[in-house]
Structure 1
């Protein structure tokens, strides 16, 4: 993997299709966690916990497991209701075990023709566990992509690593496995091309750890109104900048966090706010990546991709 350092001051204006200025990506993460593992090693939960204190992998952590499962049983359906009522799509990430263990959620997204992006095999495993074993990392990626294709009937065009913990080999492996875009690189408000050792195209369409319900509500402790303020502040500044060159804005959403009754209004009210702007594009990452792969030369000069 290699990408050139091209600051935004050295790029040409980015012009989205159909005169749009700001692309909005509402990312809903469909994630499954194992209740226990065979190993007595400390169990990495794959996200913040609601009750502190780490337990060994072979000890069941009831409050944290069932809190996360609330998102699968209740929270995600509340989110579906909001998206349906407001008439906007979500770009969804999904790990392989979520497809195997909670298929009703994935079928609901497929029925809505929403985007699904491969998101590791299970939330509690990290690609960085295989930092020094590329063959093992490739097997995790291949196994994930196979479950995805078997379940959906088509191949995943994108990838988000669990907890964003990718390795220096991940992008190269993904390109060789036929994936078009990665969400792991958190360093931009615009897409860009990543060079791969195979020469196959790879587009970065960044996820975010900042405008993310984990960060906004759990780490920063915002109320629902405080969360709305964060989302709107991000939107307003990017929208102003997009008058000169297009931007995208991503919000990372987790059903067990934003899907709580006392937080869901933040999602609904932000969508209603953004819908007031005719030149905002509620986009999928695949739409952005496919378009950019064909049009990046008009944005970043050859040799600076």
Structure 2
């Protein structure tokens, strides 16, 4: 994996197709957590818990497991209702266990023609566990992609690692497995190419840990200050997009944003953003495919 350092001030203006200015990704993370693991090590569930303290993996953590399961039983269906009412689509991520254990959620997204991005096998397993064992990392990725294809009916084109914990080998492996884009790299508001050892280029389309519903938990945001966070990000990027296109990602988790006292922040933001020209709720795959054909107009190859 290699990518050039090209600051945004040194790039050509990015011109999205059809005169669009700002692409918005509403990234709803479809994630399953195992109730217990066969390990006495501290359990790593991914993301903050609602009750503090880490139990060993082989000890059932009832409040945190059932709090997250609220998103699968209730919260995600509230999200479906809101996005249906506002006539917008999400760009979802899905770990393999979610497809195996909560298939109804995946089928509901597919019925709406929402994008689904592969998101590891299970949420509490990190690729960094295999930093020094590439064969084991590739096995996790392949098992994930196999389940993805069975559940979605086509091969995955993109990837988000659990908790964004990828290794220096991950992007090379993904390219060799035929994927097109990666969302792990948190370093941009525009797409760019990543070189891989196979010579197959990967498009980076950044996720975000900042504009994320976990901020409601970590920063104590309310429904109004959460909306303000979304709006501030949008307003600045939209102004910048007058001269060069941008994208904006919002990271969402059904057990967090899907709570009744938070979800209005998302609904109000969608209504706000839809008032502006040149804004579209995009699929990452569409952007990645387009960018492969146009990247030289944006960031010419060095040399």
Equivalent residue, structure 2, for 1:186: 186
Equivalent residue, structure 2, for 1:252: 251
Equivalent residue, structure 2, for 1:302: 301
Task: Give the length in aligned residue pairs.
Answer: 303
Q: Separation in 2 of the partners of 1:53 and 1:122?
A: 21
Equivalent residue, structure 1, for 2:212: 212
3-state SS of the aligned residue for 2:266?
Answer: helix
Equivalent residue, structure 1, for 2:234: 235
Equivalent residue, structure 2, for 1:93: 93
Query: Is 1:270 matched up with 2:251?
Result: no
Equivalent residue, structure 2, for 1:60: 60
TM-score by length of 2: 0.99
Q: Separation in 2 of the partners of 1:33 and 1:225?
A: 30
- Structure 2: which 5+ runs fail to align? none
Q: C-alpha displacement at 1:302, in angstroms? A: 1.7
Equivalent residue, structure 1, for 2:108: 108
- Structure 1: which 5+ runs fail to align? none
Equivalent residue, structure 2, for 1:148: 148
3-state SS of the aligned residue for 2:84?
Answer: helix
TM-score by length of 1: 0.99
3-state SS of the aligned residue for 1:273?
Answer: helix
Q: C-alpha displacement at 1:110, in angstroms? A: 0.4
3-state SS of the aligned residue for 2:29?
Answer: strand
Equivalent residue, structure 2, for 1:45: 45
Equivalent residue, structure 2, for 1:291: 290
1:166-205 paired onto structure 2 within 5 Å: 166-205=166-205
Q: Separation in 1 of the partners of 2:281 and 2:68?
A: 27
Q: Separation in 2 of the partners of 1:130 and 1:233?
A: 38
Q: C-alpha displacement at 1:278, in angstroms? A: 2.1
Q: Separation in 1 of the partners of 2:124 and 2:47?
A: 9
Q: Separation in 2 of the partners of 1:254 and 1:41?
A: 25
CA RMSD of aligned residues (A): 0.7
Q: Separation in 1 of the partners of 2:302 and 2:175?
A: 20
Q: C-alpha displacement at 1:201, in angstroms? A: 1.7
Q: Separation in 2 of the partners of 1:54 and 1:162?
A: 18
Equivalent residue, structure 2, for 1:131: 131
Q: C-alpha displacement at 1:88, in angstroms? A: 0.3
Q: Separation in 1 of the partners of 2:154 and 2:23?
A: 25
